Amino acid sequence: MSIWATWLDFSSDQETKTRLEEQGIVFGVIGGETENPPYVYEASHIIPDKNTERGGDFQVASVPNHVKTGRLDLDETNENLEKHRVDFLRIDTGEKLPDGSINWATIMLDYDQVKELRDTLTTWLDAPIRW
């Protein structure tokens, strides 16, 4: 059983469910599932476009407070919620290989890294010119 709750999943839903079922994990997404896998990276000199092949996986997951407390009734009114937070975010990426298999990598970011990632993504999204 996994302690991680998936918030975001860009993947082929069937590929993800099959992979996790093989590990004995029932899969669902809190933030919403999509049949919108990432684009396949071709090379550093190739600019992707809407016709670029899709494949692979990108997931963002966290550990819910109730995993540490054992209580499912937690909400913003409960005292001392902060001490029950697990301040790590799990990022899973899966690169689609030419033979159709997926090469998986998993990393974890701490709270400060997640804030920096958020700020970087906001800067990129809001930039009138992308450098």
pLDDT by residue for the chain (131 residues), tens digit each?
577 787 887 876 666 677 777 877 776 666 655 667 888 888 999 999 999 988 888 889 988 776 766 666 656 666 666 666 788 999 999 888 888 778 889 999 999 999 999 999 999 999 999 88
pLDDT, residue 21, reads 76
Q: How many helices (H) and strands (E) does the chain have?
A: 3, 5
Secondary structure (3-state) at 84: helix
Q: How is residue 14 written in tokens?
A: 């069937």
pTM over 0.85: no
Nearest Cα to Cα of residue 55 among 66, 44, 41: 41
pLDDT, residue 100, reads 76
pLDDT, residue 19, reads 72
By the 8 A CB rule, do 49 and 97 touch? no
By the 8 A CB rule, do 88 and 112 touch? no
Task: List CB contacts of 17: < 8 A, sequence separation 6 or more.
Answer: 27
